[in-house]
Amino acid sequence: MANFRNIKSMLKPRSVAVIGASRDPDKVGHVILQNYINSGYDGRLYPVNKNAEGKILGLKTYASVTDIGSQIDLAVIAVPAQFVPSVMEECGKARVKTAIVVSGGFAEVGNKDLQDQLVASANKYSITMMGPNCLGVMDPRSRVDTLFLPTYKLSKAQIGGVSFMAQSGAVGSTILDLIGGEGFGLSKFISYGNAAQLDEVDILNYLMEDDETKVIIMYLEGIKRGKEFIDVAKKAGAKKPVIVLKAGKTAAGTKAAHSHTAALAGDFEVQEAIFRQAGFIIAQDISELLYYAKIFASEPAPRGPRVAIITNGGGAGVLTTDAVASSGVLKIADFTNQTKKVLARSMPPLVNITNPLDLAGDAGAKRYNDALDALEGDPNVDMIIVIMLFQTPGADSASAAKLIDYKSRTLKPMIAISIGSEYTEMHNRMMESAGLPVYDSPTAAAHSLAALYRYVLFRDRKR
């Protein structure tokens, strides 16, 4: 039977057999083998193809995994569905530890008997199996990449602490691509498809215990083992932030989920209640999932709900004030008299010393620095939102660099709102890459800070 602890052998294998490796660059088996080579994987790599003698991509090929003669930690299986059960039998005879079946054509298209045969073969030999009908795994630290997606089509994520598990390979690859441009780092990516053996309970259990994972994000279509999921979810939510995007909320969505990965979507209201009891942060769409992921990946726990807003545009400050005030949990901070005195000495007369603090349209690096200095020392300020509209005369690369510098020193959660086109986007990438979360709307920023604070409240209640 499946052992979730064996997932480590999938993510950090010392030896990998790619079964279905091909010389044809359009074949899945070729892309997977090429990705291992491109990523710099330094373990033993064995192409397996009964019809290809000689070498593939410079590596000696084998007709069967049983011919290799060495311990195989992971077999990545990319052959037509009808051949997969017999390949799994060969893996069993070769004492392969784990297998990832990327091949589709099983329960998701009605071939449940074929999937049952596959699971029976894996269980017979105590092989821990991911899939079928999945992308598999990626671990930037160990340079493992079983995804059959050409690397040039994806933005490369830096190494970090966010692990992402997805039932859907398509949604998973889309979010994985977006993560590369969001400025936070990836620890693990796991796409588990039909979940014929390993499922969301096993993967969540593993990531909960994984020291390299600081934040878990999940895309779920269905939950197979309700009671076990509840037990693991409660433990995981109390240990680290878990952000979830659930598909199949409607009857139509449930039907679509079943035809996609044979998922049993279940009653969303019940599942949502489970998520909330476990302290999960619930995202409504992909954008919100990423908004939440980057704030949890970068920001410390706030001491309280009080937010200071710094802006170089009055209207943007008002919109952000509305978003914070309507969040249901955050509050607009009241500056101390000492802070007001400090600000009055450093700001020009046109700046009204209140929250939101409008620095005026000509504000540059020095004015932002003086404002941040004052608010960093204010005990009434728990979190800071900095709005920088790069369309104004004073906002430029020096201003962005000042925010980056301050972000590296502050002990309070600090995020930015920056909205605009090419010039703005260039500076947003600059700030994101340095670890300052940037949001494209006041609502997104306020919702993200609120999610961060709600999780702190939940965690503190559990202690």
Nearest C-alpha neighbor of 418 from the set 405, 408, 406, 428: 428
* Mean per-residue pLDDT of the chain: 93
CA 326 to centroid of chain Cα atoms? 27
Q: What are phi and psi of 358, to 5 degrees?
A: -90, 110
Has residue 116 got a pLDDT over 60?
Answer: yes
Taking only the tens place, the pLDDT of each residue in 180-194 is: 878 889 999 999 999
Return the number of other C-beta atoms located less than 10 Å from residue 298's C-beta. 22
Taking only the tens place, the pLDDT of each residue in 68-108 is: 999 999 999 999 999 999 999 999 999 999 999 999 999 99
Has residue 360 got a pLDDT over 70?
Answer: yes
Taking only the tens place, the pLDDT of each residue in 405-429 is: 999 999 999 999 999 999 999 999 9
Has residue 37 got a pLDDT over 90?
Answer: yes
Which two three-digit tokens encode residue 39?
């990523």
So what's the pLDDT on residue 256? 54
Taking only the tens place, the pLDDT of each residue in 235-245 is: 999 999 999 99
Q: Could you say which DSSP state residue 108 is in?
A: G
Has residue 260 got a pLDDT over 50?
Answer: no
**Band (266; pLDDT cuts 50, 70, 90):** low
Q: To 5 degrees, how large is the angle CA 329–CA 333–CA 336?
A: 150
Percent residues over pLDDT 90 in the chain: 84
Taking only the tens place, the pLDDT of each residue in 363-410 is: 999 999 999 999 999 999 999 999 999 999 999 999 999 999 999 999
Return the number of other C-beta atoms located less than 10 Å from residue 371's C-beta. 25
Has residue 253 got a pLDDT over 70?
Answer: no
Has residue 430 got a pLDDT over 90?
Answer: yes
Which two three-digit tokens encode residue 155?
């933005």
The stretches of 112-245 forming alpha helices (DSSP H) are 112-124, 169-179, 200-209, 226-239
**Domains along the sequence of the chain with CATH:** 1-133 (3.40.50.720), 154-298 (3.40.50.261), 300-462 (3.40.50.261)
Strand partners, 159: 186
Nearest C-alpha neighbor of 150 from the set 27, 42, 45, 13: 27
Has residue 347 got a pLDDT over 80?
Answer: yes
Taking only the tens place, the pLDDT of each residue in 169-226 is: 889 899 998 888 788 899 999 999 999 999 999 999 999 999 999 999 999 988 989 9
